[in-house]
Amino acid sequence: MMTADPLRRLSSTAMAAAAVFLTVAVWAECGGGAVTLEVSNQRILPENYLYIWCSDGVKREKGQKIPPKKVLQIQVASGGAWKGGQQLPYICTGTYTKFYGMDAAPYCIYSSRTAAGDVRVMANETSFYRWNGEKRAWDVIRPSLP
């Protein structure tokens, strides 16, 4: 389960697993549009991230280089209008090996708590998923970017 502070949920095992988090492209619906975020060694696209927590414990601001294999948590401003144009953050949280019964390679979960409820989008190496609260299951959105 996600908590208000996802870093608190990461065990030392998960932090070690985050070191293998080399390349993943993450897609999330944000209000009126979509945000695509790519983490590949030292590349971040697009340039709208706020900051990055790395597994070496260093918080890196926009524009700073990111050491390969060190990405642990990424926070991105959505740019969409959820409430009166307010930008809500999406958190991409390191690595879990099991989540809602899924065994997967390292993946990200985007989560934003709004008045309407949670919006969660997950990406692993093969697909993007959106959490369906009514079915309590992940719906496949589309295949992952190459």
Calculated CA dihedral for residues 95, 71, 23, 117, nearest 10 degrees: 50
Q: Is 71 exposed, middle or buried (0-12, 13-18, 19+ CB in 10 A)?
A: buried
**What number of other Cβ atoms are within 10 A of residue 105's Cβ?**
13
Q: Name residue 111's beta-bridge partners.
A: 120
CA distance 37 to 89: 13
pLDDT of residue 66: 44
In a domain, 119, yes or no: yes
Average pLDDT over residues 5-17: 37
In a domain, 53, yes or no: yes
Identify the residue whose tokens are 């369906």.
Answer: 132
**Do residues 53 and 66 touch, judged by C-beta distance below 8 A?**
no
pLDDT of residue 135: 77
Alpha helices by DSSP H, 1-146: 6-9, 12-18
Total number of domains constituting the chain:
1
The model's pLDDT over 52-104, given as tens digits with 9 standing for 90+, comes to 443 344 455 544 554 443 333 343 333 332 233 333 333 333 333 223 333 33
CA distance 119 to 66: 27
Which structural domain range is residue 92 located in?
A: 6-143
Phi, psi of 31, rounded to the nearest 5 degrees: 50, -105
**pLDDT of residue 136 exceeding 60:** yes
The model's pLDDT over 31-42, given as tens digits with 9 standing for 90+, comes to 223 333 333 333
CA distance 69 to 56: 10
The model's pLDDT over 18-35, given as tens digits with 9 standing for 90+, comes to 322 222 323 222 222 333
In a domain, 1, yes or no: no
Q: What is the pTM of this model?
A: 0.28
